[in-house]
Each structure stands twice: as structure tokens, then as C-alpha cells.
């Protein structure tokens, strides 16, 4: 059963079609696995197992030729981040202040998963309001990294990353406003894709926030492409959604001859020595695949990145929960209160300054990506953060103490450069047992190149496909 719960979605679909595996068997396997691991990792905010098994039986009938033909995700278990609304289900955003909130509509991208035959057997945990790089809240408690439970699975899509790594789901969804797909992918040793802004329809008002992205997490690049192809595409409810729909091809061209830039620190981040070593090893694998990989420098500085991010969050994200803060401050987590309070320090006059800073940050990246097909770099500056890390806590890197959370989030520049697609794939494992991640940054809207590089790296460095590279839970 443990092997079955780690089956990839693409392989499961092949076996379903060949009538060698039933969707009921797969759904039951991930439910059984969850029963074993959930007391340890706490990745699920809510489970819907009976409903999932009923849908699996319906999927089984479709594959047997009864009724309509199977759909693209028919019978595949999908953990959907609790942040995303599903009509009739709780939609608390991980907040005690919203503990009784029930969604009155379903997000477009989730509706696409359901319409494609995906089975939502669980809702994955998040930090409150999805505003932290770790996953704990007063509502759900602490979600832990299955590789080492003293550490976080990342955030804010931490429940999604942890459930994939521990085998309690086959696919998962995430959202990303500062790294919330890529950080869990890195910490948990899975694949996470931040699509470019507008690729996947968003829920208002955040469809107009160019830092904000919905995207897939999976255990393989092919599975990530499978889910991305289901959720991407224009929708009349979202003016920012892109036309025409982009499909990631099933067969990806090799990377031989491709020119790839490598930055170990993005010009300004202090990066853990093991993370650097694993990034260099990943670069060497791409060279083995025939790519030309050259180390480059970027003229970025942390002060500019931090100021741009704080202006943006202070203009949109903080004010979006200001009303709850005023009425329920005593029920909010420390990091959520801090997020709102930092936003209060940003005057409306700073809006133009923020746009100028964002342009200044993107300019050298855009120039670099004219000379190279993509950029690779570490996903995060350390292998993982402690499970109960708070955004006000210092982080020590290479014996240097960093007091500001912006100084460890290497993901944030690519929310600023939001039209660039970014994928995080596993790059290795650290001395504390948790994996590390490699980010693949593409030219604006060049998703396919990012998937090509991810697939080439994975071919030479498969991760969770190998039992010895799975968490020992």
C-alpha cells in the first residue's frame, strides 16, 4: 500500500485506462496512508473520505465503460489548499476569526479540477491568511515536515507539500504571493510551479494582485504539468486571465544546447553552504544533459527587494484583513498581526515608489534572460525553518544572524517579476534530513522552457520515485 500511495498521477491514469488499477484502490491507499501519517505531520485541515470513495467508485465505472468516458484527472486524489473556496465547505483561511465561514462559491481553478474528474479527498493546511513561510495556526496547530518533524514543511502551501511528500495525496494545489508554492516544494522535496501572472484564473480581488498566483504541486514534473494543464486558461470572471490557453506538451524537448544562467545568491542573499553545494550539483546535472550553464551575477540588493515587497503587501495584503484585525486582533496569530501592522506603516504615497522599485528589480533580470534561456538558483536560503518559526524570529545562516524575514525569502524577487514562470525541483538533501530546492526561472510567459529544464534535471535526479528517498514515517 505504501508503494501505491506514492504512485504518480500519470502512471495511475495509465493503469486506470488499462484496467490494472481501480481509482478506489488508489483513493483508499492515500486514505490509509493519511491515517498513519496525519497524527505526525498534521497536513489536513479537513477530510472528505466517504465522499471521495463514492467519487472513486463512479470513476471506476467510467473506466469500465459505464456512462461517460473518463476525464483528464478521473479518479486522482487531489488535496486542495483550504484557502481556495469550494461551495458548501469551510473556508476559514486558517483563522479563528473565520472558523465558522462557509464558502458560497467555488474557485474557477478548483471547479476545473472537479470537472476534470479530480477527487478532493482533503483540504490542506495553511498559516493564517497564508501570510507566512511556515504552516501553523491557532485554528489547526502545527504542520510538520515529514522528513524531520522539528522543521516546517514551508508555507503557505505547507499542508500540500507535506501531504505529497508523505504519500497522503497524489496531487495538490497551492497559491504563491511570496514563495508559497516554491518554499513547500523545496522544504518537502516535491515539485512546485508558480505560473506567470494571469495563467491560472484567480478569485477577486487577488486576481488583480500581480504578486498572486495559483499553481500545482506534485511529486514529478509530468504530474505538475498534468495539473497545470487542467487549471490554466482564460475565464470570463478574471480580466487578468491570459488568452489563449497554454498547454504544456506531454513530450518535452531535451535541453541540449540551451543556455542557462546560474546564480548562487541572486547577488545579495546569504545562502547556507549545503544549499549552495546542492545547487552546484544540480547545475552539473544540467550540463550532463547538454545544457550550457554559466555562473552570473545580479546587481540586486536586499534593501530594494525588501522595500518593494513591503510597499506591495502594505498596499494590498495587509489592508485586505484590516477589518478582521480591528474586530478580532486577540484571536489572530502573532505573524498575522505583524503583517497588518507593518502594512499600516506604508503610506499611500509609496505606491508609485513601489512601482519604480519593481521596474528597477526586473530590468537586470530581463536583460539576463535575453542572453540566457533561463536562470537557476537556490529556492530558499536555508534547507528549512523550524516548525514553529515566527516571522519576527531571527534566522542564522553561515553563522550570521538575520533579523528580517525578507533576507531569507529568495522567492520574493520572482513575485515582483511576476510574469516569469518559476518551478522548484529537489536539488538534494541537507544534514538535518530535509531536502533542498532548485528554482528554474523562465523568461516572461515561457512556461514550456521551465518544464523542459525541470524534466531534464528530474531524469538525472529522480526523487520520491525512489523508496530510499522518501520520508521514514
Characterize 52-89 residue by residue with b for buried, 16 or more Cβ atoms within 10 angstroms of its Cβ, and e for exposed.
bbebbebbbebbeeeeeebbbbbbbbbbbbbbbbbeeb
C-alpha cell at 284: 552539473
Q: Judging by beta carbons within 10 Å of its beta carbon (0-12, 13-18, 19+), is residue 267 exposed, middle or buried?
A: middle
Alpha-helical (H) ranges within 255-403 are 273-288, 302-315, 317-320, 322-328, 334-344, 350-371
The closest alpha carbon to 377, from 368, 385, 386, belongs to 368
Catalytic residue among 55, 81, 163, 168: 81
Q: For this structure, is 81 an active site residue?
A: yes
Q: For this structure, is 36 an active site residue?
A: no
Looking up cell 465505472 gives 61
Catalytic residue among 95, 130, 163, 180: 180
What 3-state DSSP class applies to 90? Answer: strand
Q: For this structure, is 320 an active site residue?
A: no
DSSP-assigned letters across all residues of 198-246: TSS---TTGGG-TT-EEEEEESSHHHHHHHHHHH-S--TT-TT--SSPP
Catalytic residue among 156, 157, 166, 186: 156
Looking up cell 547577488 gives 267
Which residues are known catalytic residues? 81, 156, 180
Amino acid at each position: 500500500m505504501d508503494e501505491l500511495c506514492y504512485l504518480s498521477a500519470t502512471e495511475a491514469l495509465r493503469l486506470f485506462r488499462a484496467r490494472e488499477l481501480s481509482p478506489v484502490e488508489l483513493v483508499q491507499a492515500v486514505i490509509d496512508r493519511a491515517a498513519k501519517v496525519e497524527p505526525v505531520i498534521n497536513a489536513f485541515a479537513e477530510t472528505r473520505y466517504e465522499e471521495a470513495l463514492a467519487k472513486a467508485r463512479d470513476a471506476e465505472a467510467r473506466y469500465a465503460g459505464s456512462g461517460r468516458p473518463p476525464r483528464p484527472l478521473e479518479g486522482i486524489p487531489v488535496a486542495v489548499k483550504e484557502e481556495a473556496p469550494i461551495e458548501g465547505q469551510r473556508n476559514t483561511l486558517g483563522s479563528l476569526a473565520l472558523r465558522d465561514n462557509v464558502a458560497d462559491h467555488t474557485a474557477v481553478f478548483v471547479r476545473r479540477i472537479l470537472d476534470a474528474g479530480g477527487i478532493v479527498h482533503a483540504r490542506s493546511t495553511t498559516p493564517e491568511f497564508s501570510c507566512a513561510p511556515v504552516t501553523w495556526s491557532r485554528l489547526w496547530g502545527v504542520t510538520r515536515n515529514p522528513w524531520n518533524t522539528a522543521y516546517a514543511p514551508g508555507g503557505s502551501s505547507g499542508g500540500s507539500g507535506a501531504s505529497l511528500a508523505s504519500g497522503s495525496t497524489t496531487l495538490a494545489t497551492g497559491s504563491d504571493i511570496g514563495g508559497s508554492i516554491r518554499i513547500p516544494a523545496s522544504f518537502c522535496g516535491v515539485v512546485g510551479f508558480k505560473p506567470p501572472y494571469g495563467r491560472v484564473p484567480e478569485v477577486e480581488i487577488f486576481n488583480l494582485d500581480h504578486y498572486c498566483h495559483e499553481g500545482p504541486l506534485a511529486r514529478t514534473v509530468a504530474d505538475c504539468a498534468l495539473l497545470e494543464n487542467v487549471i490554466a486558461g482564460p475565464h470570463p470572471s478574471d480580466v487578468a486571465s491570459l488568452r489563449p490557453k497554454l498547454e504544456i506538451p506531454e513530450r518535452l524537448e531535451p535541453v541540449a544546447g540551451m543556455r542557462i544562467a546560474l546564480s548562487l545568491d541572486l547577488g545579495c542573499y546569504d545562502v547556507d553552504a549545503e544549499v549552495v553545494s546542492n545547487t552546484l550539483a544540480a547545475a552539473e546535472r544540467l550540463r550532463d544533459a547538454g545544457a550550457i550553464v554559466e555562473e552570473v551575477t545580479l546587481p540586486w540588493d536586499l534593501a530594494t527587494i525588501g522595500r518593494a515587497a513591503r510597499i506591495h503587501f502594505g498596499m494590498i495584503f495587509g489592508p485586505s484583513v484590516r477589518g478582521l484585525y480591528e474586530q478580532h486582533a486577540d484571536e489572530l496569530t502573532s505573524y498575522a498581526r505583524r503583517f497588518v501592522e507593518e502594512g499600516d506603516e506604508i503610506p499611500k504615497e509609496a505606491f508609485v515608489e513601489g512601482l519604480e522599485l519593481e521596474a528597477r528589480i526586473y530590468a537586470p533580470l530581463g536583460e539576463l534572460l535575453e542572453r540566457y534561456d533561463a536562470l537557476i538558483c537556490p529556492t530558499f536560503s536555508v534547507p528549512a525553518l523550524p516548525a514553529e518559526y515566527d516571522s519576527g524570529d531571527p534566522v542564522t545562516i553561515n553563522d550570521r544572524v538575520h533579523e528580517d524575514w525578507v533576507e531569507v525569502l529568495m522567492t520574493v524577487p520572482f513575485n515582483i517579476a511576476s510574469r516569469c514562470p518559476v518551478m522548484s525541483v529537489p536539488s538534494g538533501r541537507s544534514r538535518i534530513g530535509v531536502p533542498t530546492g532548485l528554482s528554474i526561472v523562465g523568461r516572461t510567459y515561457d512556461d514550456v522552457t521551465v518544464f523542459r529544464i525541470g524534466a531534464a534535471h528530474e531524469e538525472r535526479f529522480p526523487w520520491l520515485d525512489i523508496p530510499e528517498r522518501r520520508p521514514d514515517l
